[in-house]
Every structure is written in C-alpha cells, then in structure tokens.
Amino acid sequence: MIAQYAADGIVLGATLALGAIGLTLTYNILRFANFAHGEFLTFGAYFALVFAALFAGGQTLGPLTFGWGFLEAVAAAVVLTGLLALVLDRLLFRALRRSDVTVTLVIASFGASLMLRNVVVFVWGSRPEYYSREIAVRSELLPGVFMSADEVFVIGLTALAMLALALFLSRTRLGRAMRAVSDDPALARVSGIDVQAVIRWTWLIGGGLAAVAGALFGLTVQISPEMGFNMILPMFAAAILGGVGSIQGAVLGGLVIGLAQALSVPLIGAAYKPAVAFALMFLILLFYPRGILGGRT
Amino acid sequence: MSDLGGLLSYGVFFLAQAAIFAVVCLGLNLQWGYTGLFNIGVSGFFLVGAYAFAILCGPEYPMRLGGFGLPFPVGLAGSVAAAALVAWVVGIPTLRLRGDYLAIVTIGIAATLQLVALNAQWLTGGSQGTGGIPRPLPEAADTVLGRNLLMLAVVAAVVVAVYAALEAVVRSPWGRVLKAIREDETAASSLGKNAFAFRLQAFAIGSAIMGAGGALHASFIGFVSPQDFQPVLTFQVWTMLVVGGSGNNRGAVLGALLMWAVWTLSGSLAQQLLPADLQVKGGAAQVVLIGLVLMAMLVLRPRGLIGEEAVVSREAEVGPARGAGR
C-alpha cells in the first residue's frame, strides 16, 4: 500500500517540480514571489485543451490515452503561456519594477492571480474538464504498484524537460547569462549582459514549464479554474524546501512535497492533504530557512 | 414597506457591511501601510475571529464545542485574542525573513484555516456552517430595521474606536519606529530598535483588528460557513486599502466604503443584466473589474486617493515641501 502511495506522490511531485522550477527562476531573477504563477499552470492546461480539440483525431499512442495531437497541443500551450507571462510582465510588473515601490509587485501578482483565475471561469466556465474520456488503465508495474501509461509518461516527460533545462543553463550563452543575472544583476549588467532579454526569456521559460506542468496535471487529475491556485502553495513549499533559486532544489523539493502529500493520506486522511505542504514549509522556515540546496535567504 | 423604507433598510445594511470592512481594512493598514508587512491571509484572520465569536456566543449544538452563550463584549475580546494568537504563531518564523515569505505563509495559513473550518466538525460545524449567532443586545429592538440600526451603531462605534486608537498609536514613538523600520530597517536597527519584535507586535495587533471584524461579521449575519472566507475577501480588503491610500487611516475607511459600493453595485448590475445561466460569469467579470481597478491604482496612483501624509519633525526647520512620504 505504501509503495502505491509513494508512486502517486512521485507523479504529483513531478508536476509540482516543473511548476516550482519556473517559480524559483522568476523569484531569483526578478526577485519577487509571483503568486500568478499558479495561473500559468491553469492557462497552460486550458490552452492545451483548446488545441487538443483542434488537433483531435488520429491514433492514440500505444497504451496512452492520447495521440500526437495532444503533444502538439502541449507544445502550442507552452508557447502561448510563455507569451501570456510576457504580456503580464509588460502590462503590469514592468511598470511596477520601474517605480521605487518594488514591494507592491507581490500584491500585484496576487491580484493578477485572482483576475486570471476569473478570466478562466469567464471564458471556459467553472466545470472540471478532461483531455480524454478514455480511462487510463493501471497495470501492476512493480509488486503492489499500479500505474497507468499516462503516469509513466508524466514522469518521463518531466525528467526530459529538466534535463533539457539543465543543459540549457550550463551549456548555452543565454543560460549562463540567466545564471549571472540571478547571482548578481548589477555585475551582470556591467559585464554587458542584456538584462532585459534575460528577463524576457525567464518569463518565457517559466511560463512554458508551467504550461507543461498544468497539462500533465490535467492529464492525470483534471482541469479546473482552481487547479493552479491549489498548487501554488505546494510549489512555493517545494521552492523554499529546495532553497530558493536552486533548480535542483526545486526538483527535489517538488518530489518531497509530492511524496509527503501522498503519504499523508493513509495517516491523516485526504481532507488535510493540502495542508501538509504548508506544514512542511512552516517547519522549514522555522528551522532551516535556507532550504536544502539554497545558497542564501 | 414603502420604497423609501426599503431604500433606508438597504442603506443601513450596506453601511454596516462597509463598516465591518473598514475595521478589517484599518487592521491591514497597520500591517501594510505603516509597517510594510504583506499579509495576504486577511481572510484567515477574519475567519478565526468569526468562528471564535460563534463558539463563544453562539447556541449549543450537539457534538460540538460551544454553547457558552457569553455576552457580546466577551465574544469580541475572545475573537481579538484568538486572531492575535494565530498571527503571533505565524509571525515567529516569517517576520525575520524577506517580506515575500510572510506573503507565502499568510496565504498558506488562510488556506489551512479554511480547510479546518471545512473539516473540523466538532469545532466549526463543517461545510454546513454554524448559525444562530446572536447580535449585541438582542432585546433592545423589535423590528428588522431597528435591529440593523443597532448593529450599525455598534459597528460604527468599533470603527471609531479602532480609528482613534490607531491614530494615537501611529503618532506615538512606537508608530514612528514602525515607519522607520519600514523605510530603512538597517538604520532603525542601528539605533537599537529590535525590528523583529516591532514587526511581530504590529502584525499581531493588525490581525487582532481583523479578528474583531470577523466577530462583527458573524454577529451581524448570524451565520458563518467556510465559503465566506475565500481568498477573494483578502483581495477585496487589499483593493480597498490600495484605492483609499495605504499609510492613512482615513484612506483605509474611505477605501472600504468606496470599494464596497463599487462591489455591491457591480454585483447587482450583473445580477439584473445577465440571464441566470451566466451568473457565474458575471461574478467572474466582477472580480476581473475590481482587479483592473487594483492594477491601475498600483501602476498609476500607488499612493491611493488620499495617501500618506508627509510628516516633518517638529524640530526640523520647515521649508517648502520637499518630497512626500515615499
């Protein structure tokens, strides 16, 4: 039984980790906690829903409940959500960054989060949606561990996205520029790094990863206007647990939070499952605010 | 009842609700306006106050804590204490860290408290909510209008008392330290002020005021349920403060009245104009509208309608006004 809960936790943790990466990137490079990040997941999931309907038809891939059309839809959702993040930055956050009252960014992002959530309700309604009505059959992969092909796909795609991001940050010029801005913006600027371009790419990448996370959550659970908001707290917990600014930390934090939430169900029941992430975050802040892999607070 | 009477009783109902928001908004103003703390768990402290009042003053239900039937002032004091206690616990790990952490933890505590309200049947009555919460002086008036007028008087008295107390407090040496910490923590610390302790005090007092607002809400409506404490409540109070002018107690009260008017008017407009199947979308559009007001205010007029007064030391030579507040 425990093994089954752990497997569920890893699937949830993979989605949380993808979301937390974007959160930790924006936190570190733009230096504020973006509460609207959860809505990037929601929008990503709904964008993918729209495109999945457009690209519908065709064969499903092996044991999966979807075909190539869904993957194309996720790719389109990644681009659109990245653009949404850019637009939000251009209209709202950039103006606030320029003014001296920088702290209002957090309030603005909280307001933007509520607004975006209601835009989703306005456009798509408040009923939960699914990508496919097909039932994802779970088979016994390990003794006592049942997983569907979709869930294995979620873990695989997450691992792939993380690998690509790690290579991007360590091997490409832009990736190195992003790390430089994250370490010391002033020094990066005088070294001739185009900070504005780095900020733009941070939004694009953070939004894109959030879209993948949202689509994968929609694939294994469901799509609803509240989904991103319900995940913002576990994602923050993951980012803080791993150490704000650390990509590896966000991944590790996501997995730990996902596992903790899933494993708490047999202990305290499902009702308080969302509070587990909060309790963990609270304890980390109390005793170890730097996080596991973090450099600074 | 005549149209005029209807309008009057609606006006009283509206004002009582707006005044409850004004109390909560004043609490937030102490935290954000004067101390620079981002509490985005306003709904959580409001919830604690409301349920504490319901437990202390409400009727007895089987298998549930409560039924003490205590008088109104005791319930109010209990709500204030409960909200302050929660704030104190939340503040300890977070107020030493960067401001964003407080924002994250307060939104978390609000969500967690809502879960507790929804699931802790023995304490809150769960998703069914809890009713029969008494008004102050239940025998003093026998018409609906009379009872609402009495409630309005009580709420207005609380607004005046909180306003007067905060005005005195923020002009005291204690209040000046809060502003000093907000503007430059390093400088304030180098003068021997313990920034953490001052922040914790301001956070606890502000949250206690929000708890009082929750108690007034519970008593006025007579019924509370977990659905009353959604994040949108926090958003409304923030919009009120930002629009009215943070760092100014008159701004907080003005913002509460104004934005509550905008909220209720846009709500009844949407209700009248939209067919029944689009009501959900109307509610969503309402939040988007208020959100746009908040964003526009933050970008175009961050000081709000009234804004913080520039304070010059009595010792300083008073010249032509240079730079206001912040």
User: What are the pLDDT digits (tens) for B292-318?
Assistant: 888 888 888 888 888 787 776 666 655
Distance from CA of B160 to the nearest CA of A (A): 28
- Is A114 near chain B, with CB under 8 Å? yes
How much is the mean pLDDT over chain B? 88
Residue A151 forms part of a structural domain: yes
Kindly state the average pLDDT of the residues B89-94. 90
Chain B neighbors of A240, CB-CB under 8 A: 101, 104
Q: Does A1 or A150 have the greater pLDDT score?
A: A150
Q: Does residue A101 carry a pLDDT above 60?
A: no
Q: Does residue B325 carry a pLDDT above 60?
A: no
In 3D space, the residue among B49, B312, B126 whose CA is nearest the CA of residue A271 turns out to be B126
Q: Does residue B324 carry a pLDDT above 60?
A: no
pLDDT at A256: 94
Percent of chain B whose pLDDT exceeds 90: 53
Distance CA A197, CA A46 (A): 28
Q: Among B158-162, B188-192, B216-220, B253-257, which stretch is predicted with the lowest mean pLDDT?
A: B188-192
Contact B40 A114 (CB under 8 A): no
Residue of A nearest to B99 (CA): A103
Distance CA A39, CA A255 (A): 21
Residue of B nearest to A33 (CA): B100
Q: What is the CATH number of the domain that holds A117?
A: 1.10.3470
- Is B97 near chain A, with CB under 8 Å? yes
3-state secondary structure chain A: CHHHHHHHHHHHHHHHHHHHHHHHHHHHHHCCCCCCHHHHHHHHHHHHHHHHHHCCCCCCCCCCCCCHHHHHHHHHHHHHHHHHHHHHHHHHHHHHHHCCCCCHHHHHHHHHHHHHHHHHHHHHCCCCECCCCCCCCEEEEECCEEEEHHHHHHHHHHHHHHHHHHHHHHHCHHHHHHHHHHHCHHHHHHCCCCHHHHHHHHHHHHHHHHHHHHHHHHHHCCECCCHHHHHHHHHHHHHHHHCCCCHHHHHHHHHHHHHHHHHHHHHHCCCCHHHHHHHHHHHHHHHCCCCCCCCCC
> Which of A109-123, B72-86, B259-273 has the highest average model confidence (pLDDT)?
B72-86
Q: Among A210-219, B28-37, B139-148, which stretch is predicted with the lowest mean pLDDT?
A: B139-148
Chain B neighbors of A121, CB-CB under 8 A: 280-281, 283-284
pTM, full prediction: 0.90
Cβ A208 vs Cβ A259: under 8 Å: no
Kindly state the average pLDDT of the residues B81-98. 91
Residue A297 forms part of a structural domain: no
Q: Does residue A140 carry a pLDDT above 60?
A: yes
pLDDT at B278: 76
Q: Does A244 or B178 have the greater pLDDT score?
A: B178
Q: Among A71-85, A222-236, B181-195, which stretch is predicted with the lowest mean pLDDT?
A: B181-195
Residue A7 forms part of a structural domain: yes
How many independent structural domains does chain A possess?
Answer: 1
Q: Which domain holds residue A239?
A: 2-287
Q: Does residue A17 carry a pLDDT above 90?
A: yes
Predicted confidence (pLDDT) per residue in B197-254, tens digit: 999 999 999 999 999 999 999 999 999 999 999 999 999 999 999 999 888 999 999 9
Kindly state the average pLDDT of the residues A159-188. 89
pLDDT at A295: 55
Residue A103 forms part of a structural domain: yes
Q: Which of B93, B103, B299 sits opposite A96 (nearest CB)?
A: B299
Distance from CA of B183 to the nearest CA of A (A): 11
Chain B neighbors of A297, CB-CB under 8 A: 97-98
Contact B107 A110 (CB under 8 A): yes
pLDDT at B326: 41
Chain A neighbors of B287, CB-CB under 8 A: 114-115, 118
Confidence of residue B125 (pLDDT cuts 50, 70, 90): confident
Q: Does residue B1 carry a pLDDT above 80?
A: no
Residue A166 forms part of a structural domain: yes
Q: Which of A35, A106, A285 sits opposite B97 (nearest CB)?
A: A285
Confidence of residue B323 (pLDDT cuts 50, 70, 90): very low
Optimal mutation site among A42, A89, A120, A122, interface B, most CBs of chain B within 10 A: A122
How much is the mean pLDDT over chain A? 88
Chain B neighbors of A20, CB-CB under 8 A: none
Q: Which of B111, B283, B326 sits opposite A233 (nearest CB)?
A: B111
Percent of chain A whose pLDDT exceeds 70: 97
Residue A259 forms part of a structural domain: yes
Q: Among A8-12, A37-41, A70-74, B98-102, which stretch is predicted with the lowest mean pLDDT?
A: B98-102
Kindly state the average pLDDT of the residues B143-171. 93
Residue A67 forms part of a structural domain: yes
Residue A294 forms part of a structural domain: no
Q: Which of A121, A286, A297 sits opposite B284 (nearest CB)?
A: A121
- Is A286 near chain B, with CB under 8 Å? yes
Contact A118 B288 (CB under 8 A): yes
Q: Does residue A234 carry a pLDDT above 80?
A: yes
pLDDT at A37: 96
Chain B neighbors of A271, CB-CB under 8 A: 115, 118-119
Cβ B26 vs Cβ B253: under 8 Å: yes
Contact B231 A229 (CB under 8 A): yes
Q: Which of A108, A118, A289 sits opposite B284 (nearest CB)?
A: A118
